Amino acid sequence: RFHGEGYREGYAEGSRIGIAEGRRYGSLHGAKIGSEIGCYLGFALTWHCLLQKCTDEKSSKKVRALESLIGMIQKFPYEDPTYDKLQEDLEKIRGKFKQVCSVLNIQPDFRIGAERPSLAF
């Protein structure tokens, strides 16, 4: 009987602590992803506005790449943490961002962490 009660109490306590730890972990990593995606969107929208007035072929290629990145970001499911292709779509957005930087001839330096929490170009 004591063994059973101890097991139930331990299981309940472990579940409670696990939920709290999971919430902290999810908040931290969700904030990092949100910051990264928000930075990509701000970058893309700024360059899209800057290149909007240019009409040459090179600029139109850049604008199309930027519009593709913006579209991918706008379709990203921010509110659904159970989305099964979240990491896959995030990698696609990162790849498109690298492609856009290449087309714009810009060297991105996006780091999140204690060593340098910033974005530099």
C-alpha to C-alpha distance for 26 and 3, rounded to whole angstroms: 34
**Which tops the pLDDT comparison, 112 or 63?**
63
List Cβ neighbours of 105 (8 Å cut-off, separation of 6 or more): none
Model's pTM, two decimal places? Answer: 0.74
> What percent of the chain shows pLDDT beyond 90?
46
Q: Are strands 118-120 and 109-111 parallel, antiparallel or unpaired?
A: antiparallel
| 121 has a pLDDT exceeding 50 | no
